[in-house]
Amino acid sequence: MLFRQIKKRVVIFILVLLVVFLSNLTFAQERKAVYAPSIFNDNYLESKLRVGVENIIFTQVIAERLEDEELTENKIDFLSNMQEGSQELFAKRYAELFDYYYHSFEKRRKLFRLFEEKEKKFGVSNELKALSFLLEELSLANQELEVKDFPFKLDRADSSYRFYEELLNELIQLAEVFPKLPNQTFSFDEREILGFELAERQVILTFDDGPTAITEDILDTLEKHETTAVFFALGDNFMQGQGENLEVNQERMDYLARALDLGADVGLHTMTHPNLVHVWTEEQLSYEFEKPKKILAEELDHEVEFFRAPYGARNRRILEEVYKYYSHHILWSIDSLDWHSDFDEEIIKERVIRLLHLYDGGIVLFHDINPKAANILAELIVELENSRFEFTNLSAVLD
């Protein structure tokens, strides 16, 4: 009888692991690479306009997905705050755009309520902030901007619509699997940082899974452009050997030392990159959390404060352990998808820039085990700086 019970539990356990594996596999495969090139130049004026346009397109996609009654045409009064004398030119150039890209506040509220219901169902502490951003009233006019004869023409870009259709699929899938596969969609408490807490136009670049030789290339770019970032280091990548033979990989440890010298933040990403939800014993958790923290304290004289769980996977039990060693758990608002084989460098760069405009800033997830991020980093920094995005790090924001 006892044998049968044990056998039954083992079979159930294997089935659960299989379902989790297939869920992850299916989710990864369903993410489609959509190349949506920008029609905007990288300057502050067009960038501020783009924030509004990206939100209007996304709202349109959301409203169409809801398949509800006909859209209420609550158009934004784009001209109300424009400087006198500029309104005629502005209206002439963008009348067609404004006629087409309108949004409904009621539709956005309906979407928000939809995710509030999911929030109650999942029992998490706060709403899907990525979409609640849409509740805020948009104002494309800005008193600081001098309206000029813009050098671009706006029309309906089908690739932008396809991009946001896929983004909405992404967000909904993440929300749906959250109870079984906790991810970056929701935060459990105020010590978890998603990226939507940043001020407008603030950007934090983060790199997971290093240090590697690619980390050195990234550091070279950051130093050249006097830009900061955050590195979530993996213990297995700055150590070598096993058991009693475990020792520091000095070359890779030097990369982390250089990152600190350049003013970047160094956080931790566990010792071995497990899915922490599947780590059961306190001894195992201590090895993943405490071991690498002690090593960096000894080698770099650096007390690590920031942690990121592999895959963003954690639960309340895991977070209780995390907070014994770290002040904050850091997630992300923008996944570059640089890990995805279908996403080439140009698609990744355009995706990141587009989403930074949609949210007007945020925390970007990259990986310094893949050359894609290193290869696009210089162009990304230049374009975002030209648009007056501000690069910062966690120490500055959470101080």
Confidence (pTM): 0.75
Q: Is the pLDDT of residue 19 over 80?
A: no
Query: Over the stretch 220-274, which tens digit does the pLDDT of each residue have?
Result: 999 999 999 999 999 999 999 887 788 999 999 999 999 999 999 999 999 999 9
**Token duo for residue 164:** 């946001």
- Terminal-residue alpha carbon distance, the chain: 59
Q: Is the pLDDT of residue 5 over 60?
A: no
Greatest mean pLDDT among 149-158, 164-173, 268-277, 354-363: 268-277
pLDDT at 65: 62
Closest CA to 348 of 365, 328, 362: 365
Helices (H), the chain: 2-30, 44-66, 87-100, 105-122, 129-132, 158-177, 213-224, 235-238, 250-261, 282-300, 316-325, 345-359, 371-386, 394-397
Indicate the SS3 state at residue 341.
Answer: coil
Stretch 99-108: mean pLDDT, rounded? 37
Stretch 157-167: mean pLDDT, rounded? 79
Task: Give the Cα separation of 184 and 333 in Å (integer).
Answer: 7
Q: Is the pLDDT of residue 185 over 80?
A: no
Task: Give the Cα separation of 336 and 350 in Å (integer).
Answer: 9
Q: Is the pLDDT of residue 188 over 60?
A: yes
Residue spans of the domains in the chain: they are 44-177, 192-397
Q: Is the pLDDT of residue 341 over 80?
A: yes
Stretch 278-288: mean pLDDT, rounded? 89
pLDDT at 358: 86
Query: Over the stretch 121-140, which tens digit does the pLDDT of each residue have?
Result: 544 333 333 333 333 333 33
* CATH level 2 (architecture), domain 192-397: Alpha-Beta Barrel (3.20)
Task: Give the Cα separation of 128 and 170 in Å (integer).
Answer: 13
Which range, of 125-134, 277-286, 315-324, 372-381, averages the lowest pLDDT?
125-134
pLDDT at 334: 94
Q: Is the pLDDT of residue 69 over 70?
A: no
